[in-house]
């Protein structure tokens, strides 16, 4: 066939894609398509020596070609990973198939001589191939020529497609034997991927499984199956690949010499492989509301017994801020210091000496007074009036001068010897509180008079006083309800 040639006034040959012992493959253009779609043309012809032999083979070739073309058409319509058969026809005693063009590449691009693929990559590849082959086997179809060049990966979606089924190749292998019988003279298949029963012209579904196992070994070792050593018709390959024992067992079962020991079809092999893949996958982490997706991934999954025996920890309370803690401690310290200072001042508060001044004689015109003599305390603090000593006053009393009269004398039951030595007081950081004096109301200018001055008694002596001028005005009574009312005394009450 020539480039540019047109078949049936429709399919124009653009270039040659491949060739082999069973026929040639071309890229063509469909003139009847609105978009002039690209297609693949397969050219098949019987291997005959003369026209007489051709005449004997042609009827059988036509029958086989029609059956296989219908099978391909059915597979292509029911599965998207098998090329669709667009047309098939006969011209000049030669047979042609027109199929969809697959924009992609075959597995010879991925499985390269001398390059070893990882176990995970080969597992994934086998699953992809077996999923398509499982569909083919359910339809009762044997591919018969599975190898890397007949498995393509589509660029558009990366899917695996099975091409170049060997069933239609029977047409190109027909011939007559010496007895004049028409039959296939060439075994369909490729060395290294073809098991013994297929080589004996008795292919079965498990023959395709053998071919997939051989492809797996080639991907793991980087060596073509026909170049691997054999022991009793079994591949010796484990020493040339890094693979787990479980995966090696599946591959070895796929390529057993005895077909009865293999997986019966692609479905069984696929099930065993998926079970292995699922058992080796890491467990999926459970994401809880208190965990992020990056933390759930790194969290180990506990067994049920560990989960039951693990105590539930209460949620940690947030730590208080340092500034708040320092503030609380400062307030507590100041409060404690204030309480301690108050107690100390209360303990050290001086006792007031109440001195009663008796008159010098019966005719004395002076008035008996009581003098409160406080100790020298720099920081007095107001304290409540003591209840145990009714004579104690917190404020010095103001004497009301009057005309000298005989007065009643209030004699103290016991006058202790006043002796007091001031003791050092602790320096307080608190602000001094000065007693508020009672300011008397303005009064007229007092007349000279005598004021009773307290005389500090000494030990063994009788208290005495020296009169001094006193104003004659009548000041207001003291505000302290505990003061003595000397006016009442003067009036003889």
Dist. CA 225–CA 121, nearest whole Å = 19
Query: Is 70 exceeded by the pLDDT of residue 362?
Result: no
Quote the distance between the C-alpha of residue 453 and its chain's center: 91
Cα angle 402-405-406, degrees, rounded to a multiple of 5: 140
Using the 8-state DSSP alphabet, how is residue 372 labeled? E
Name the residues annotated as catalytic: 145
Dist. CA 428–CA 334, nearest whole Å = 12
More confident residue, 31 or 440: 31
What are the φ and ψ backbone dihedral angles of 461, each rounded to 5 degrees? -125, 160
Dist. CA 243–CA 249, nearest whole Å = 10
Report the share of the chain in percent with pLDDT over 90. 39
Do residues 454 and 371 make contact, with C-beta atoms less than 8 angstroms apart?
Answer: yes
- Domains in the chain and their CATH numbers? 6-280 (1.10.510.10)
Do residues 374 and 350 make contact, with C-beta atoms less than 8 angstroms apart?
Answer: yes
Binned at pLDDT 50, 70 and 90, residue 141 comes out as: very high
pLDDT digits (tens, 9 = 90+) for 19-78: 766 778 999 999 998 999 999 999 887 777 777 777 887 888 888 888 888 889 999 999
Quote the distance between the C-alpha of residue 377 and its chain's center: 70
Dist. CA 21–CA 187, nearest whole Å = 11
Query: Is 70 exceeded by the pLDDT of residue 276?
Result: yes
Q: Which residues pair with 243 in a beta bridge?
A: none
pLDDT digits (tens, 9 = 90+) for 225-252: 999 999 989 999 999 999 999 999 999 9
pLDDT score at 228: 95
Instruction: Read off the tokens for 211.
Output: 């071919």
Dist. CA 248–CA 210, nearest whole Å = 14
Tell whether the torsion through CA atoms of 253, 257, 263 and 266 is positive or negative. positive
pLDDT digits (tens, 9 = 90+) for 377-416: 444 444 544 444 444 444 444 444 455 555 555 555 554 5
Which of the residue ranges 89-98, 102-111, 181-190, 247-256 would you say has the lowest mean pLDDT? 181-190
Do residues 213 and 254 make contact, with C-beta atoms less than 8 angstroms apart?
Answer: yes
Q: Which of 182, 155, 179, 160 is nearest to 171 (CA)?
A: 182
User: Judging by beta carbons within 10 Å of its beta carbon (0-12, 13-18, 19+), is residue 339 exposed, middle or buried?
Assistant: exposed
Query: Is 60 exceeded by the pLDDT of residue 90?
Result: yes
Dist. CA 236–CA 29, nearest whole Å = 47
Using the 8-state DSSP alphabet, how is residue 31 labeled? T
pTM, 2 dp: 0.57
């Amino acid at each position: 066939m020539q480039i540019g040639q047109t078949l049936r006034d429709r399919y124009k040959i653009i270039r040659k894609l491949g060739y082999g012992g069973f026929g040639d493959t071309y890229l063509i253009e469909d003139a009847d398509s609105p978009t002039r779609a690209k297609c693949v043309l397969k050219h098949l012809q019987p291997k005959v020596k003369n026209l007489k032999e051709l005449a004997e083979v042609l009827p059988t070739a036509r029958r086989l070609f029609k059956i296989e073309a219908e099978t391909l058409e059915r597979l292509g319509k029911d599965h998207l990973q098998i090329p669709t058969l667009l047309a098939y026809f006969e011209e000049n005693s030669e047979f042609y198939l027109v199929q969809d063009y697959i924009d992609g590449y075959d597995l010879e691009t991925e499985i390269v001589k001398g390059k070893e693929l990882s176990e995970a990559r080969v597992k994934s590849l086998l699953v992809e191939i077996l999923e398509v082959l499982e569909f083919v086997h359910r339809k009762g179809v044997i591919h018969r020529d599975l190898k890397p060049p007949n498995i393509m990966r589509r660029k558009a979606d990366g899917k695996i497609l099975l091409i170049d089924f060997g069933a239609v190749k029977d047409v190109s292998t027909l011939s007559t034997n010496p007895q004049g019988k028409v039959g296939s003279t060439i075994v369909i298949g490729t060395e290294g991927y073809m098991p013994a029963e297929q080589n004996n012209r008795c292919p079965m579904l498990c023959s395709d499984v053998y071919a997939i196992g051989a492809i797996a070994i080639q991907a793991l070792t980087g060596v073509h199956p026909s170049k691997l050593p054999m022991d009793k018709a079994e591949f010796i390959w484990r020493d040339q690949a890094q693979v787990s024992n479980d995966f090696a067992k599946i591959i070895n079962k796929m390529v057993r010499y005895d077909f009865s020991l293999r997986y019966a079809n692609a479905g069984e092999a696929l099930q065993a492989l998926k079970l292995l893949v699922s058992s080796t996958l890491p467990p999926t982490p459970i994401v809880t509301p208190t965990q992020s997706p990056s933390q759930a991934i790194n969290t180990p999954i506990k067994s049920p017994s560990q989960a039951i025996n693990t105590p539930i920890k209460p949620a940690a309370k947030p730590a208080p801020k340092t500034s708040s803690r320092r503030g609380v401690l400062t307030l507590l310290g100041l409060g404690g210091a204030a309480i301690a200072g108050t107690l100390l001042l209360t303990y050290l508060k001086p006792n007031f000496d109440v001195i009663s001044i008796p008159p010098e004689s019966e005719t004395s015109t002076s008035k008996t007074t009581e003098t409160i003599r406080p100790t020298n305390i720099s920081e007095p603090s107001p304290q409540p009036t003591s209840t145990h000593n009714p004579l104690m006053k917190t404020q010095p009393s103001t004497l009301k001068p009057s005309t000298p009269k005989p007065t009643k004398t209030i004699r103290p039951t016991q006058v202790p010897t006043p002796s007091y030595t001031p003791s050092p007081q602790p320096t307080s950081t608190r602000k001094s509180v000065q007693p508020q004096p009672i300011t008397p109301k303005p009064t007229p200018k007092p007349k000279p008079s005598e004021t009773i001055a307290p005389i500090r008694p000494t030990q063994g002596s009788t208290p005495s006083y020296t009169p001094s001028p006193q104003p004659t005005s009548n000041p207001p009574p003291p505000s302290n309800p505990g003061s003595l009312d000397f006016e009442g005394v003067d009036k003889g009450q």
